[in-house]
Amino acid sequence: MADMERTDKETLYVEKYREGRFAVVTLHRPDVLNAGSPTLFGELADTIESFEHDDDVRAVVLTGGTGKAFSAGADLGGMTFDDMGSCRAFIRIAHAPFEAIERLGKVVIAAVNGYAFGFGTEIALACDLVLASDKARFGLREMNHGLVPAVTITRGVDMIGRRRVAWMAYTSDDLSAEEAREYGFVNKVVPHASLVDEYTALAARIAKRAPLAVAATKWTLNKSAGGHYREGENLMPAIFASDDVTEGRKAFEERREAVFRGR
């Protein structure tokens, strides 16, 4: 579209389509498969929040671009903390884009182009609608590293159900795009080559909806979100401080299976 304006940040870029009145936010850390980091969390939260009073944007798309990953997780190397206070501060930073998406009075569409593991699965979960390429894959690999998928075991229970969350969390099995649709996690699976056309059409369609009705609907659907994120913030510091997380990180770096001892 000729009316597109692009803004580049360190970990993502934003394209605004004024005629269609929507924006596309593309995660852009291709060297690490769009892995989450404190910088990405902050930039994504700030970007989403900037749309609240932007009348030129009535719908938002979040995608991973043309690469093979939507987001393949979070940077484990950034999860080392000197004390519980710094751990809690990190969790708040990590939660910021999730809460920004859920608070925004406009529809956010996840357009999942490829691997969506850990952070990738969970940030898609926070979005209002999810389109997935038939090449997309989802999974919660946190327990492989001694961690907990805090967003999914809190917010996700309402969205896809206790049994499905339990399976994903305990097994760390991947889901295909079609399996994720059957779980109720994905709204629609589309051919990979059609993903851009599909999300463009959907965003333009949603942007024409009545803004007040959209905002009221979203507030009602997401009104319990804040409490769920606070649960995660209370849960995670003790997990991050455990020897099991240290072992999980070392095992990942050494490319071996972790041996967890429950301490």
Just list the catalytic residues. 122, 142
Q: Where are the alpha helices (DSSP H) in the chain?
A: 38-50, 84-103, 119-126, 150-160, 162-171, 177-183, 195-207, 211-222, 225-240, 243-254
229 Cα distance to chain centroid: 14
Residue 172 CA to residue 118 CA, distance in Å, equals 10
Q: Which amino acid is at 178?
A: E
Spatial CA neighbour of 81 closest among 96, 72, 92: 92
Residue 73 CA to residue 10 CA, distance in Å, equals 18
Are the beta carbons of 157 and 164 closer than 8 angstroms?
no
Spatial CA neighbour of 159 closest among 133, 138, 135: 138
DSSP 170-220: HH---EEHHHHHHHTS-SEEE-GGGHHHHHHHHHHHHHTS-HHHHHHHHHH
Spatial CA neighbour of 246 closest among 256, 257, 260, 236: 260
